[in-house]
Structure 1
Amino acid sequence: MDMGSDQIDSFAIAGELSKPQGTPQKSIVGTIINAVPPAYSEADYLTALQSLLPTGRVWPRDPNSTQVSVLSGLVPSIARHNVAANNLLIDAFPATTYQLLAEWEATLGLPDPCAGEYPNLLTRRSQVLARFCGVGGQSISYIIAYASALGFPITITQYAPARIGACRVGQPVNSQDWAFAWTVNAGVTNVQKSHIGYSYAGQPIQSFGNEILECAIKEIAPAHTIVNFSYKTS
C-alpha cells in the first residue's frame, strides 16, 4: 500500500499552539499573541467600586466600616471574572482549553469510545486536538502526525507481495494480500503523565495503555487495508 508522504501543516500549527505560556505563540491566522492582559487584584476592584460611590459622611471609606465590608464581599467574584476573561484566549484554542473543553468535544463529535469510560484531561484534550487538526489523509506522514497529536510516537511499516527478481534470500514470501497490510510500531506501553497547569485534582498521576492508539488508528485507516500493531518488547 503506497501511503505517500504529503505534509500536514495543521499538526505543525497545533505544535505551536501547545507551547508553554510565556512563549510567543502563532495563532491559526498568523497573529503573534504576545500581549499581557490586564490583571487587577481584589483591592483594585474595591478601590474602583468606592470611587463610583457618592462622597459624604454616609459613604465612608474606612476599612472597618460595614459598607466597605459589603463591597469587600463583592469584589472576589469580580476578580474571578477578570481571571476567566484573561484566560479566554488561551481557553479558546484546543491545545490549551479547559473551561471550553466540553464545547470543543461537542463540536467535534467527542468524546468517543476510543477515550475509554473515564478519560483524563490530557486524553480528552489530545483527542480534541487530533480531531480538530485531522483534515483527513491516507499518507504515512498524516497518520504519524495524527498519532503524535494523541500523544503516541509511532512508525509505520509497509509490505509488498513477493516478486521474482525483487526478493532476496531470507525475505518473507508475501502473498498479494500483503499489498493492503501495514503495521503501526509503538512502545510496549504508552505512559501519559500529569502536568502542573494541565491536570486537575483526582486525575491519575500517570496512565498506561495503547487502547486509545489502536482505536483511533482503526478509525482513520483506509477502508481497503488491514492495520496491524507491533509493540516493543523492551
Structure 2
Amino acid sequence: MEHKQVLAGLYPPVAYDVGGEQFLIQCEVDGRAFDRLQQKATAVLNAISPEESGSLLVDWERVCGLATDLSLSYSERVNRVIVQLNAVGGLSIPYFTQLAESIGYQIVIKEFSPLQHDLPETGDLVQFRQEPEENLIFMWRVTVGNGDSNIVYFRAGNSCAGEPLVSFGDAIIEEFFRDLKPAHTYCYFAYSS
C-alpha cells in the first residue's frame, strides 16, 4: 500500500475534508516522501551483506580500505570486498591458497631459501640483482594457474620509450596479495596456462 493512502486514512474525517483537493495533494506529496524513505530504508537493510548492497557497495569498499574501481563488474567488486572481509590474517601457504580459492583462483606458492641454495630461476633473478642474497630469504612466488594475465606488448607508435617490451598481470589477485602479505616480504607473480 502506498503511503499516501495510509496518510489519508489517519486524519479524522470530522476535523478534515478528507476528500478535498488540497488535502489529497498534501497526502500525495507527503506519501511520496515516505515512499522514498521506505526505499532508502530497504536499501540500507539490504546493505547488511555486500552481495545485495547495490549502490551502497561503495561504503563496503570504503570500510574495507579498497579503492572503488568502476571498471570492474559488480560481482568482481563484491568478491574483492568478501576477500577483504575474510582476510582475518594468516601467514601460512595454506591460508593464502585458501584465500585465492575463495575468489576462484588456483595458485601455487613457492618460498625460496638462499640458505639451502634454493633461489628463483635465473630469469627471475635478473629483477632482483640489486638485492643482497640474504634478503632473498623473504621472497616468494605465486604461480597463478587460471588468472587473467592481461598481456600487453610494446608496439611501435602506441608505446613510449622506457616501457617494458611485454607486461602482464591480474590486478585482482596481485592487489590482494600485496595488501595482505607480510610487510617484510617480497611477493612476485608468475602465470601459467
Is the TM-score greater than 0.5?
yes
1:113-139: CA deviations, max 9, x gaps? xx7685554343332222222011122
SS in 2 for 1:125: helix
Which of 177, 181, 201 is the equivalent residue of 2:119? 177
Aligned equivalents of 2:16, 2:45: Cα separation in 1: 42
TM-superposed deviation, 1:48? 1.8
Alignment of 1:15-34 (within 5 A): none
Structure 1: runs of 5+ lacking an equivalent:
1-40, 162-173, 192-208
Q: Which residue of 1 aligns with 2:27?
A: 71
* Aligned: 1:228 with 2:189: yes
TM-score, structure 2 normalization? 0.60
Match of 1:155 in 2: 107
TM-score, normalisation: structure 1? 0.52
Show the counterpart of 2:173: 213
- What's 1:51 paired with? 9
Regions of 4+ moved over 6 Å: none
Greater relative contact order (CA < 8 Å, ≥ 6 in sequence):
1
* Higher Cα radius of gyration: 2
Instruction: Give the AA of the match of 1:90.
Output: N
In 2, Cα distance between equivalents of 1:104 and 1:159: 33
| Percent identity for Structure 1 against Structure 2 | 17
2:52 partner SS:
coil
Equivalent residue, structure 2, for 1:201: none
Q: CA RMSD in A?
A: 3.5
Alignment-mate amino acid for residue 87 of structure 2: G
Residue 189 of structure 2 aligns to a residue whose secondary structure is strand
Alpha-carbon distance in structure 2 between the residues aligned to 1:116 and 1:51: 47
- Distance in 1 (alpha carbons) for counterparts of 2:59 and 2:147: 33
1:188 to partner: Cα distance: 5.0
Q: Which has the higher helix share?
A: 2
Number of aligned pairs?
Answer: 155
